[in-house]
Structure 1
């Protein structure tokens, strides 16, 4: 059979009133196994490429001051010691010429450190984090337990000023001017204390940044020599431009595969049979392919060109929409194995699943909306520094509880499938599908649960391999089930419909015999 004849046969239907079997019903077991192996190999290649060829996710630049050495060092940039004022237009600059034996005025809240970012930023850096490092002075501790565990201050207060400008010779614009509180944790295992998050910018507004900080309640730390009075370090952390381009390239590469596959799948089903004759899975896979395109975000490039927080938020909405819809589809696929199509009423079959996944979607979206609103109201807000049981953490707990309910529901559906399979009450084609779907479902759900927890409790990718593995994991899953449910050349016979519709009667007879 030539390519032309195969293509014609692939998209041609002798009778559109018939229901055509998906490939999963006619492929031999070894062919399905080969598809699994190919998907696994591609997933492994994606991880290897991410580990060995992926760029570093975060790019950090720093400036630091050490009055003991009478020096300032940086990866490029400057750091000054200036009087703390509410104005950024005029200040008297102090140089390290011996006027300051240490940074006592900084820790007493009398003067501030003013640090200019060592590099310029653009929208392609996506976001920026401003960090401050202090040095612990645990060698002065007299008690061994204090030396072993270090110390911490739960509410280190500081006065913060953040400036930005668009031109190198332009005027600084005051962005933030206020007082904040962060925890300070210093352990004996590291000379530097844990970084203090001064400020988080969810999108890049200016190419040039300058930040000023003065500590307001750290006098006791200085007086008790808990911290090194000579040292302070400022760090500017953002997404690496190379990683942003890497992410952009992979997203659009996956879209260029998914979009044609989506169109071909829908056309093949339309030409082959009427919509009412499509299998339940085929109807939802078409939508799932569309959501996969959204997951990879066709407008992702606007994050870099527009430099607006709204496009970053839309990207999160697309990702969560896909993940929640995928979870809904899994419930439908699993439950449809034991419930004949004639018994699947919208009220009792679909509504419970829509409500469960819809609630999950609403609460996950609400958690991110909450963060964005807090950032707009208070530019110094950051999840990493919220203390106590915040509203965000409460929402996160609710998401965890909903996820547990979802897992229990899915386990219940799977147990019903396994039980009916054990009692030989499943139609033959459903018995074969159940084995394939059970394996795919377990694999996908585990990955999805981890994915949701990462997005709820940590919004950052840790590595290029993590990003690529998840995007390829979902893409390969959807591509695989698309191939398995592609309409074949073989129509479903009437006796197969009868067998599926008679499942309930067979089950009743089975239990009647057991009662006797």
Structure 2
């Protein structure tokens, strides 16, 4: 992407740069500190980095399905409400996982099931915000498909993004169900979700899923070696594709044909 101005990047391409950087920290490059430092800090840092990446991924989904329908994306009306919504999930995940890790480091016999009742309000708000996020995301998906399904280029973008997202969500649900079973309704589900794996299979399956998802999107959204600026994603549905038909997209418009003939 360095060959092109950031103004020519699509919304997905800009997010990919940000997500790939966070993916490095999600993979926990500071793990060797657990062997060098006799402290709970490395484990807490790992939980914070996991929560940060996953919440950023949730923010990416909201931004894509909302932003693909409009070209003007000012920070306060567009990003700020989404950031506030996702920030609640981030804060609650970090607080609950950090408390658990810190207490278990001080007391190996610590059982968060006993003390987790102190965080009842945290857990209730976490689940409420999670439900609001799901409803908001579904609303944006339905609205995006309703407005852009007849626009060939944007229709492909929506289908690809949705297909990959559904694969990640479906596999994550299966992994979580196999991991916790009926324990999903338990009070210590949230802190365990953010801080603990029972075996290496759970660890590798979830990390491999996230990495494969990001690598796939990065490959698809990266421009070809012979790509020119005119062939990059046109990220304005109002002006770039509003009057384009399927034949214009495949064979080129009359204006483009006449220009090539004159040359």
Rounded to whole Å, the distance in 2 between the matches of 1:362 and 1:504 is: 40
Q: Is the 8 A contact 1:327 1:445 kept in 2?
A: no
TM-score (norm 2): 0.75
Map of 1:477 onto structure 2: 213
Alignment of 1:333-372 (within 5 A): 333-337=64-68, 339-341=69-71, 343-372=72-101
Aligned length: 229
**Aligned residues of 2:104 and 2:110 also touching (Cα < 8 A):** yes
Question: Is the counterpart of residue 410 in structure 1 residue 137 in structure 2?
Answer: yes
Change (3 A) 1:363 1:347: same
Distance 2:170 2:124 in 1: 19
The 3 A distance-change label for structure 1 pair 499 and 370 is closer
Dislocated runs of 4+, deviation >4 Å:
372-380, 446-455, 496-499, 503-506
Cα deviation, 1:135-165, whole Å, max 9, x if unaligned, reads xxxxxxxxxxxxxxxxxxxxxxxxxxxxxxx
SS of 1:487's partner is coil
Does residue 390 of structure 1 match 2:126? no
Counterpart for residue 465 of structure 1: 201
Judge conservation of contact 1:396–1:456 (CA < 8 Å) in 2. no
Q: Tell me how large the CA RMSD over aligned residues is.
A: 3.0
1:292 aligned residue:
23
**TM-score, with length taken from structure 1:** 0.40
Structure 1 distance, partners of 2:201, 2:237, is 44
User: Would you say the 8 A contact 2:11–2:235 is kept in 1?
Assistant: no
Contact kept in structure 1, 2:31 and 2:42, CA below 8 Å: yes
Give CA-to-partner distance per residue, 1:64-102, whole Å, 9 cap, x none: xxxxxxxxxxxxxxxxxxxxxxxxxxxxxxxxxxxxxxx
Q: Deviations over 1:379-402 (max 9, x none)?
A: 753214x17x71234422322221
Task: Please give the alpha-carbon distance, in whole angstroms, between the structure 2 residues aligned to 1:446 and 1:335.
Answer: 22
Shift of 1:455: 5.1
Cα pair distance change 1:357/1:490, threshold 3 Å: same
Give, in whole Å, the separation in 2 of the partners of 1:392 and 1:286.
36
Identify unmatched segments of 5+ residues in structure 2: 244-263
Aligned to 2:167: 443
After TM superposition, give the deviation of residue 501 of structure 1 in Å: 2.4
Cα deviations by residue, 1:201-220 (Å, 9 ceiling, x for unpaired): xxxxxxxxxxxxxxxxxxxx
> Which whole-Å deviations, capped at 9, do the CAs of 1:331-373 have from their partners, x for residues lacking one?
1222222x232x2222222111111111211111111233355
d(CA) in 2 for partners of 1:503, 1:273: 19
Higher relative contact order (CA closer than 8 Å, sequence separation 6+): 2
d(CA) in 2 for partners of 1:498 and 1:327?
21
Tell me the equivalent position of 1:429.
153
SS of the equivalent of 2:227 reads strand
Q: Is the 8 A contact 2:59 2:82 kept in 1?
A: yes
- What is the SS of the residue equivalent to 1:297? coil
Give the deviation of 1:410 after TM superposition: 0.8
Q: Contact 2:145/2:155 (CA < 8 Å) preserved in 1? A: no
Task: Write the distance in 2 (CA, Å) between the matches of 1:352 and 1:445.
Answer: 23
Instruction: Tell me what 1:490 maps to.
Output: 227
- Which whole-Å CA distance do the structure 2 matches of 1:456 and 1:503 have between them? 46
Greater fraction of residues in helix? 2
Alignment match of 2:44 (pick from 305, 313, 337): 313
| Unaligned segments of structure 1, at least 5 residues | 1-268, 507-516
Q: Paired residue for 2:191? A: 456
Query: Deviation at 1:310?
Result: 1.0
Match of 1:324 among 55, 65, 69: 55
* Bigger fraction of residues in strand: 1
Distance in 1 of aligned mates of 2:220 and 2:214? 10
Question: Alpha-carbon deviation of 1:378?
Answer: 6.4
> Cα offset for 1:304?
2.0
Q: Quick one: structure 1 residues 381 and 392, their matched pair in 2 at CA, closer, same or farther if it must change by over 3 Å?
A: farther
